[in-house]
Amino acid sequence: MKITTTLAVAVGLLGLAACKQSPTENKADQIEANADNTADNIEANADNMAENIQANAENKADAVRNAADNKADAVRNAADNTTTNKQ
């Protein structure tokens, strides 16, 4: 019980100490916080863009492979049909 009370008092004192910052220090802290948030957003946007670029590249590569497979199948089928018709 004494430990809990001591911790509660310590947390309360820390909160009061934070409130006693000068207006200049509060403004400086806010500038830093805003800059950190902006930087985090820039990084998140870059990550999203990179993921989208990767997904688009994979989709285009799959489309090229599928088109080649379809053409190859068409050539094979045409050859099979020609061989079958001659018999």
Query: What are the extents of the domains in the chain?
Result: 30-87
Q: pLDDT digit string (tens) for 27-86?
A: 999 999 999 999 999 999 999 999 999 999 999 999 999 999 999 999 999 877 776 666
pLDDT at 7 over 80: no
Angle value at C-alpha 5, between 8 and 15, nearest 5 degrees: 15
Close Cβ partners of 21 (under 8 Å, ≥ 6 residues apart)? 29
Q: pLDDT digit string (tens) for 26-38?
A: 899 999 999 999 9
Contact 29, 21 (CB under 8 A): yes
Task: Please state the pTM of the whole predicted model.
Answer: 0.53
Report the half-sphere exposure of 85 (CA within 13 A, side-chain side): 6
Which pLDDT does position 87 carry in this prediction?
58
